[in-house]
Structure 1
Amino acid sequence: MFPAARTGFASHGLSAWVLAGTLLLAGCQTDPTNETFRVDRAQGSEQNIASLSSVIAANPNDPEGYNVRGSAYGRAGEFRRALSDFNMAIQLNPRFYQAYANRALVQRNMGDQAQALQDYNAALQLNPRYDVAFIGRGNLYRQAGQLDRAFADFNQAIENDTTDPRAYHNRGLIYQSRNQHAQAIEDFSTAISLSSTSPEPYNGRGISYLAMGDDDNAFSDFNTAINLNGNLAESWANQALVYERRKEFQKAIRSYSHALKLDPKYEPARAGLARVKAAS
């Protein structure tokens, strides 16, 4: 259940710069701990929750009602209430594997990574083909630096014929971290085909295009990311990097400066702006 689990993308966790002629790649700054709740906030509105509460009051022994309301609480950022609802859903149906995975999302957002991992494992014991749990567990492994385990989980979700774009996007991030950019581009492209309105895979693919010296396609992807969501500092800094490589320094300055307006703490934009000002 938990539709939020299928909407967000993980952070790239890389950095994108040209230093001493060597390309180091800049990554997405999307907070991976909150990615799974970045959906239509109306689904977590007071009105929607009130409606779900009425359903639960009429059917207090139906675990599905608690699971759905827990999802709404999660999207509203009310994690303790969400946790309580998922606990109740599991109490009513101990084999409710979706509720285990949903509870893991909440625990992940609350910083309890060990308990989140335990719940993802429980969901997969109950349903060994559950792609949401493989992807969620893969993200936990990836954040912990266990890239081989993360890769195995994303790969398993893909082998199970998932249509969740995050599996491809996140596997692409690992390919990218291993400098396997052709494979990364292929995975980011598949993620885009499954979810063309998310900026993250465009940024990811653009970074790999840059690594392969294809500045034109990289520039196109970064511009698409900006058009989809103009509030990501990463996208503007990536665009600025292409301007910098083209020696269009005034345009690079504008893009780096805009990135810093969006996120004054975004170090790649700060360093890039200083570097371009010195060069111009």
Structure 2
Amino acid sequence: MKQSLIADHATKNRIGRIGILVSTALVCMAIAGCQSTNTALTTVDRAQGTSENISSLTQVIQSNPRDPEGYNVRGSAYGRAGRYKEAIRDFDQAIALNPNFYQAYANRALVYRYMGDSNRAVQDYSRAIQINPQYDTAYIGRGNVYRLAGRHDQALNDFNQAIALQTTDGRAYHNRGLIYQLRGQHQQAIEDFSKAISLNSTAPEPYNGRGLSYVALNDWDNAFDDFNTAITLNQNIAESWANQALVYEHRGEKAKAANSYARAVQLDPNYKPAKDGLARTRG
């Protein structure tokens, strides 16, 4: 059983200070600031990080302590539980038992990224790719580290490589779409977000991403549909409500906009676009 640790982070979609009469230029400026890192593109099974599951995996390891897969799987569970030092320890042991265990390198890389150690994350993803040049997960993971560091050309190269390998992982298209969006290439971004949706229709993030590119193209109706779908899929993402509010605000429906901004603030009191929008529309 070969496991990846956690479906990689995607992004928060951020909106700037936009009035009721929104120009395309202002929207593009808002979208240029929409890159962030705090929501997952693919749902994580938190049950796999429970103490009960970790205890069961420990029993498996105790019965076969020379099997690197046991350490890899338990390391994944530790990672899901946020117990990063223990996760690193298990991945270290898995790699010590099997130096060519490329999945363990990629899993350890993701934990390093969560710990803020981008250099080690890149090193481990690169080692996984060196061992298995066909491993699309490592290209996607390394590409996201590059993207978050602002190294967009390198990120784009990695996402392109994963796509050339015919990946079925929607993160490759979603993250490439974010780069296109940042560069103002909104039609290409929409195509990539749409592909990501076709691969994982239950993830709200590509709907938010595509919706913002529709806004940049002044296609408010399609944007509204996407933001509403994102909310239907997960009602606990502040960005989705703030994005919906932006459309209401554009339409002059200030009361509805204020309600949606208020919901976003309730979910994330520190989310500035929602706080600013609520201040604009509350009166």
Superposed pair shares fold, TM > 0.5: yes
1:212 aligned to 217, 220, 226, which one? 217
Q: Is the CA contact (8 Å cut-off) linking 1:9 and 1:170 kept in structure 2?
A: no
Q: Is the CA contact (8 Å cut-off) linking 2:71 and 2:94 kept in structure 1?
A: yes
- SS of 2:18 mapped into structure 1: strand
Q: Does 1:267 align with 2:269?
A: no
| Aligned alpha-carbon RMSD (Å) | 1.9
Aligned length: 275
2:251 aligned to 237, 243, 246, which one? 246
Find the counterpart in structure 1 of residue 3 from structure 2: 2
Distance 2:213 2:16 in 1: 10
Inter-CA distance 232–36: structure 2 relative to 1 (3 Å threshold): closer
Find the counterpart in structure 2 of residue 95 from structure 1: 100
Find the counterpart in structure 2 of residue 228 from structure 1: 233
Distance 2:72 2:175 in 1: 26
Q: Is the CA contact (8 Å cut-off) linking 1:105 and 1:116 kept in structure 2?
A: yes
Distance 2:80 2:42 in 1: 5
- AA aligned to 1:225 is A
2:38 aligned to 19, 31, 42, which one? 31
- AA aligned to 1:31 is N
- TM, length-normalised to structure 1: 0.93
Q: Is the CA contact (8 Å cut-off) linking 1:71 and 1:102 kept in structure 2?
A: yes
| Residue 75 of structure 1, CA deviation | 0.8
Q: Is the CA contact (8 Å cut-off) linking 1:28 and 1:204 kept in structure 2?
A: no
| Residue 2 of structure 1, CA deviation | 3.3
Distance 2:8 2:112 in 1: 17
Structure 1 unaligned spans of 5+ = none
2:74 aligned to 40, 65, 69, which one? 69
- AA aligned to 1:27 is C
| Residue 4 of structure 1, CA deviation | 4.2
Task: State the percentage of identical aligned residues.
Answer: 61
1:131 aligned to 119, 130, 136, which one? 136
- SS of 1:196 mapped into structure 2: coil
Find the counterpart in structure 1 of residue 260 from structure 2: 255
| Residue 46 of structure 1, CA deviation | 1.5
Structure 2 unaligned spans of 5+ = none
Structure with the larger RCO, 1 or 2 (CA within 8 Å, 6+ apart) = 2
Which portions of structure 1, spanning 4 or more consecutive aligned residues, are displaced by more than 4 angstroms?
none
Q: Is the CA contact (8 Å cut-off) linking 1:28 and 1:203 kept in structure 2?
A: no
Question: Greater shift after overlay, 87-96 or 48-57?
Answer: 48-57
Alignment of 1:143-162 (within 5 A): 143-162=148-167
Distance 2:265 2:79 in 1: 30
Find the counterpart in structure 2 of residue 202 from structure 1: 207
| Residue 28 of structure 1, CA deviation | 6.7
Distance 1:39 1:51 in 2: 19
